[in-house]
Amino acid sequence: MPEKIKAKRASDLLWNAWKDQAVMDRLPDDCRPTSRTEAYAVQQHIELHSNTTLYGWKIAATSVAGQLHIGVTGPLAGRLLRERVADVGATLSLKGNRMAVAEAEFAFRMRHDLPPRIAPYSLAEVIDAVGSLHPSIEVPDSRFTDFVTAGEAQLIADNACAHEFVEGPVAPDTWRDMDLAAQAVHATVDGTSRRYERSGSGAAVLGDPRDALVWLVNELSSLSIALRAGQVVTTGACIAPLEVMPGDHVRADFGVLGSVDVRFGD
């Protein structure tokens, strides 16, 4: 089977599973990607199912613990679809979401394109292309029965477990002079019969959310993909994933950088 047909077949299976809130044990042998390059080719077809322009990108597995948990060699990039972005304070359904977690993340909105090139982008170049920083919450999910054992290539094909995303308000521009690695983040989960809190910092995200952003830019560049002005990059969980259930209200407080919240229903 030609590679393009294999990639489209795999992406159609994953897209239909996502749309139908279904899962699969694994992709069929005849279209299962076996490398990161093949997997990103599958993921690219998923974007084509969207009815509008790409909203942005997510980074999964930005901590060593997270990488070990799902058996991958490094971070994974995934696409954020505009149809899956919710407003701050919205109520998201957990129907069919078996991961059932929320992740507090630093997200960057770009003001300039960063086109693919041979030389890696530097931190200074990438940050100069950023327009704003936003406290955000990502709600991941997987189309595989057991995402922990699915393997790196299948997880990338599965859009790096992208699902839903809440972009918080614009943070004060003073973030540019702050140590984001040291910035504390505190989350609260309030439910109908429980309440718990959890804390973390930007250091959980590849050591610094800005370094995660640089990784994403160079990962895309290696795939001949441009990061476009207006697109958002959410850089990974800076707190251990927050287990959620219907009735929960999640609030993530990024201190002087602002806060973001979301609710969960059936």
In tens, the pLDDT along 171-193 reads 999 999 999 999 999 999 999 88
Tens of pLDDT, residues 100-128: 999 999 999 999 999 999 999 999 999 99
Residue 5, CA distances (Å) to 1, 50, 263 in order: 7, 19, 40
Pairing status of strand 164-167 against strand 130-139: antiparallel
> 66-80, 128-142, 158-172, 210-224: lowest mean pLDDT where?
66-80
List Cβ neighbours of 119 (8 Å cut-off, separation of 6 or more).
none
Rg of the chain on CA atoms, in Å: 18
Tens of pLDDT, residues 26-65: 999 999 999 999 999 999 998 888 889 999 999 999 988 8
Parse the chain into domains and list their residue ranges: 53-265
**What is the rounded distance in angstroms from the CA atom of residue 140 to the CA atom of residue 162?**
5
The pTM of this model reads: 0.97
Q: Which CATH architecture has domain 53-265?
A: Alpha-Beta Complex (3.90)
Closest to 50 (Cα-Cα) out of 193, 159, 194: 159
Percent of the chain predicted with pLDDT > 70: 100
Q: Given this model, what pLDDT does residue 65 score?
A: 84
Q: Do residues 242 and 101 touch, judged by C-beta distance below 8 A?
A: yes
| Banded pLDDT at 2 (limits 50, 70, 90) | confident
Q: Given this model, what pLDDT does residue 42 score?
A: 97
Burial grade of 53 (CB within 10 A; 0-12, 13-18, 19 or more): exposed
Q: Given this model, what pLDDT does residue 1 score?
A: 65
Q: Given this model, what pLDDT does residue 135 score?
A: 98
Tens of pLDDT, residues 60-91: 999 888 899 899 989 999 999 999 999 999 99
Q: Given this model, what pLDDT does residue 209 score?
A: 98
Across residues 238-253, what is the average pLDDT? Answer: 97
